[in-house]
């Protein structure tokens, strides 16, 4: 059975500058959650995917930002929706990151936690021993913090390979989430996700929920980011956005001046 996993990061009370990609204003989250409720899709936690018998949805938040609990929990709870937060355990309690008691409160509300490794480094650059520690110790630390079993792992930066997946399965995880755009299969150990940014339009979320997401462009951009590095990619993306805005503004001007039709 297929499912879609939405990947959010942190939430904000108001709109952020364009360059702060990952912050999603809470009013935008509300719109997304209302769309989800409107579709009447089963919204599951990772541990429940195994028994899903229809297309379903997982809502995930990476990095355990405090804003998810401060602003997001209430919006989810009001709508009877549950989500998973992926936690880099060595950062718990540091500035801006949820504390162990925040995480326990989150779980007590019916939500779940998964590991996001210990220190949020690119696992492909670490030695096998370091990878093992990141994956295995974060699971144990998180289980200790919240007092329940942790079965899912989200790989930081989506930086994943076969060796890392093998280590995760060996450490006892049953599901590994990457950042590769696309739908997941409930019976597979590794699943991609759809990244939701502050700039993601509601129509893009609707397409994901309707199983007609256009993920090839996202995959192209994701591949490009991996190839040229985050910094060069952000410069390229900003340039692309400004060119797009320029074209859209010109088209709007021409339309208002009656130069083009439509
Ligand atoms: Zn992360």
Question: Model-level pTM?
Answer: 0.85
Looking at the fold, whether 239 and 216 belong to one and the same domain comes out as: no
Looking at the fold, whether 239 and 131 belong to one and the same domain comes out as: no
Instruction: Domain count for the chain, please give it.
Output: 2
Looking at the fold, whether 197 and 186 belong to one and the same domain comes out as: yes
CATH number at residue 55: 3.20.20.370
| pLDDT tens digits for range 144-194 | 999 999 999 999 998 889 999 999 999 999 999 999 899 999 999 999 999
Q: How far is the CA of 87 from the centre of ligand 1 (A)?
A: 8
Looking at the fold, whether 154 and 210 belong to one and the same domain comes out as: yes
pLDDT at residue 232, as a whole number: 77
Looking at the fold, whether 194 and 246 belong to one and the same domain comes out as: no
Question: Do residues 205 and 187 touch, judged by C-beta distance below 8 A?
Answer: no
Nearest CA-CA partner of 54 in 232, 173, 186, 152: 186
Q: How far is the CA of 197 from the centre of ligand 1 (A)?
A: 13
Q: In which domain, by residue range, is 247 found?
A: 229-262
* C-alpha–C-alpha distance, residues 13 and 117, integer Å: 28
Q: How far is the CA of 245 from the centre of ligand 1 (A)?
A: 29
Q: How far is the CA of 254 from the centre of ligand 1 (A)?
A: 42
Looking at the fold, whether 6 and 136 belong to one and the same domain comes out as: yes
* C-alpha–C-alpha distance, residues 71 and 210, integer Å: 27
Ligand 1 is an ion; its neighbours by CB within 5 Å are 62-63, 156
* C-alpha–C-alpha distance, residues 53 and 163, integer Å: 31
Residue 221 banded pLDDT, cuts 50, 70, 90:
confident
Q: How far is the CA of 225 from the centre of ligand 1 (A)?
A: 15
pLDDT at residue 48, as a whole number: 97
pLDDT at residue 222, as a whole number: 73
pLDDT at residue 12, as a whole number: 93
Which is more confidently placed, 69 or 220?
A: 69
Residue 245 banded pLDDT, cuts 50, 70, 90:
low
Query: Cβ neighbours of residue 210 under 8 Å, at least 6 residues apart?
Result: 39
Q: How large is the average pLDDT for residues 39-43?
A: 95
Looking at the fold, whether 28 and 84 belong to one and the same domain comes out as: yes
Q: How large is the average pLDDT for residues 106-121?
A: 98
Q: How far is the CA of 51 from the centre of ligand 1 (A)?
A: 27
Which is more confidently placed, 62 or 234?
A: 62
Looking at the fold, whether 126 and 234 belong to one and the same domain comes out as: no
Looking at the fold, whether 187 and 204 belong to one and the same domain comes out as: yes
| pLDDT tens digits for range 69-82 | 999 999 999 999 99
């Amino acid at each position: 059975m297929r499912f879609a996993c939405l990947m959010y990061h942190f939430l904000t009370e108001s709109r952020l500058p364009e360059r702060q990609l990952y912050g999603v204003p809470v009013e935008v989250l509300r719109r997304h959650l209302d769309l989800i409720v409107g579709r009447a899709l089963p919204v599951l936690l990772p541990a429940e995917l195994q028994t899903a018998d229809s297309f379903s949805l997982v809502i995930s938040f990476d990095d355990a930002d405090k804003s998810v609990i401060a602003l997001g929990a209430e919006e989810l709870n009001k709508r009877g929706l549950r989500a998973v937060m992926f936690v880099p355990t060595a950062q718990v309690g540091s500035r801006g990151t949820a504390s162990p008691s925040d995480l326990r409160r989150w779980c007590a509300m019916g939500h779940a936690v998964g590991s996001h490794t210990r220190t949020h480094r690119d696992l492909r650059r670490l030695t096998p021993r370091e990878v093992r520690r990141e994956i295995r110790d974060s699971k144990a630390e998180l289980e200790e913090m919240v007092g329940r079993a942790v079965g899912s792992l989200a790989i930081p930066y989506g930086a994943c390979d076969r060796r890392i997946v093998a280590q995760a399965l060996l450490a006892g995880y049953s599901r590994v989430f990457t950042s590769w755009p696309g739908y997941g299969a409930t019976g597979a150990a590794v699943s991609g996700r759809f990244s939701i940014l502050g700039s993601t339009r509601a129509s893009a979320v609707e397409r994901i929920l309707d199983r007609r997401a256009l993920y090839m462009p996202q995959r192209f951009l994701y591949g490009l980011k991996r190839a040229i590095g985050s910094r060069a990619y952000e410069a390229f993306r900003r340039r692309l956005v400004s060119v797009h805005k320029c074209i859209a503004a010109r088209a709007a001007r021409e339309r208002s001046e009656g130069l083009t039709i439509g």
